[in-house]
């Protein structure tokens, strides 16, 4: 039974992720975006509309040459605003890439840096390790209350940041946990929303590396809701 359930789930992911005609009545029909440089295909809910990325999507102002934002998209309604960014950290500056390869410490420092312009952020889930199609990854959750200003009510911004190695690390021995060989990219996903219920949208994102099978960007249960 478990074998047939796994096959059914994979088939469902493939059918759901296929490009579909735009349907205004269903904001969660998936769109397709292909990163030609890395030969990676992403699928995301069609409620998001691609727009030029703001400067704030960079991981650190001191190393913009290391970061390439491949896609930035917004979803704006009368009651909330959500956005996500897909970015790549490359080896243009090796020190910053080495920091990114650490994954856990990197996502923690980066999300706090990105949110502090809104107020005083707090971590709601410390970095959690997992794998995406064999690639080590880490995810972190944080939030920041925004102060009330003229014409704007106080809101809370909820944020998710996940980064993964751009390639499957080669190990010297089967039991060696340290990767060897060059790793030239770290792939990152940033998601922010003003509605904590919309954090579940992240489970709609699917990725395909080269011609590998379609893979959920986040496994079920990776986010611990309070």
pLDDT at 90: 83
pLDDT at 155: 85
Low-confidence stretches of the chain (pLDDT beneath 50): 1-22, 24, 58-63, 172-174, 176, 179-180
pLDDT at 64: 53
Backbone φ and ψ for 101, nearest 5 degrees, come out as -65, -25
Measured in residues, the chain has a length of 226
Closest CA to 189 of 62, 57, 92: 57
pLDDT at 106: 92
Write out the two tokens for 209: 């590396």
pTM comes to: 0.79
pLDDT at 184: 76
Q: How far apart are CA 114 and CA 47, in angstroms?
A: 24
Backbone φ and ψ for 42, nearest 5 degrees, come out as -115, 145
Domains of the chain: 2-216 (3.40.1000.10)
Label each residue of the chain as H, E or C: CHHHHHHHHHHHHHHHHCCCCCCCCCCCCEEEEEECCCCEEEEEECCCEECCCCHHHCCCCCCHHHEEEEEEEEEECCCCEEEEEEEEEECCCHHHHHHHHCCHHHHHHHHHHHHCCCCCCEEEEEEEEEEECCEEEEEEEEEEEECCECCECCEEEEEEEEEEECCCCEECCCCCCCEECCCCEEEEEEEEECCHHHHHHHHHCEEEECCCCCEECCCCCCCCCC
Over residues 29-79, the pLDDT tens digits come to 899 999 998 999 999 999 999 998 776 554 444 445 678 889 999 998 887
Angle at 201 between CA 198 and CA 202, to 5 degrees: 120
């Amino acid at each position: 039974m478990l074998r047939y359930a796994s096959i059914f789930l994979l088939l469902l992911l493939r059918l759901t992720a296929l490009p579909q005609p735009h349907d205004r009545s269903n904001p969660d029909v998936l769109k397709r975006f292909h990163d030609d440089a890395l030969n990676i295909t992403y699928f995301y809910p069609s409620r998001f509309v691609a727009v030029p990325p703001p400067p704030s999507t960079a991981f650190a102002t001191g190393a913009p040459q290391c970061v390439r934002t491949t896609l930035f998209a917004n979803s704006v309604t009368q009651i909330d605003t959500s956005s996500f960014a897909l970015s790549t950290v490359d080896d243009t500056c090796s020190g910053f890439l080495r920091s990114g390869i650490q994954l856990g410490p990197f996502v923690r420092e980066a999300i706090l840096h990105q949110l502090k312009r809104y107020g005083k952020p707090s971590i709601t889930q410390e970095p959690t390790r997992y794998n995406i199609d064999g690639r080590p990854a880490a995810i972190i959750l944080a939030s920041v209350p925004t102060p009330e200003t003229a014409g704007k009510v106080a809101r809370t911004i909820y944020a998710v940041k996940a980064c993964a190695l751009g390639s499957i690390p080669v190990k010297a021995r089967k039991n060696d946990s340290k990767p060897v060989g060059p790793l030239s990219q770290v792939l990152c996903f940033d998601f922010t929303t003003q509605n904590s219920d919309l954090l579940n949208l992240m489970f709609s994102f699917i990725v395909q590396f080269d011609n590998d099978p379609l893979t959920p960007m986040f496994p079920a249960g990776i986010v611990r809701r309070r």
